[in-house]
Amino acid sequence: MLGRRDSAVAAQLDSCLSGDAAPEDPRIAGMAMAAAALRPRRAVSESARHRAFDAMMREADRRVRPVAGTHADDLADPGVHARVAEAGPHLRLTVADIEGISDTRLEEIAASIARRLGQNAPDRNQ
């Protein structure tokens, strides 16, 4: 009996998420709002997901087995967006993500890292 009720709820939720119906039950409306909040801001194609996963695995492999000689980060992959910001004298911050990185988001990340470093690093100027 419980299985039928769950499948009915799932069917109604699926219908609401696809845009075919409006939620009738407040619980379904809450689930639809939660699903909408978890949805990416813009659609990410399967090929972009695969490219990002491949880039992630290449980076993990590179970290585990460093190559002798000079090497450069492979951030030219079209599935990975990268931005570089100056974080202070002789410090650069590189942020990479599968979604685009706006100036506002880059500033928020830099401020967060600066706060974290300020909390953990002793003041060496005293």
Percent of the chain, pLDDT > 90?
0
Please state, in angstroms and rounded to a whole number, the distance separating the CA atoms of residues 120 and 113: 11
- pLDDT for 1 equals 43
Average pLDDT, the chain: 76
Lowest average pLDDT, out of 8-12, 20-24, 63-67, goes to: 63-67
Please state, in angstroms and rounded to a whole number, the distance separating the CA atoms of residues 1 and 77: 51
Q: Are 91 and 113 in contact (CB under 8 A)?
A: no
Q: Is the pTM of this model over 0.95?
A: no
Where residue 87 falls among pLDDT bands split at 50, 70, 90? low
In terms of Cβ atoms closer than 10 Å to its own Cβ (0-12, 13-18, 19+), residue 52 is buried
More reliable by pLDDT, 56 or 125: 56
Output the 3-class SS for the chain.
CHHHHHHHHHHHHHHHHCCCCCCCCHHHHHHHHHHHHHCCCCCCCHHHHHHHHHHHHHHHHHHHCCCCCCCCCCCCCCCCEEEEEEEECCEEEEEEECCCCCHHHHHHHHHHHHHHHHHHCCCCCC
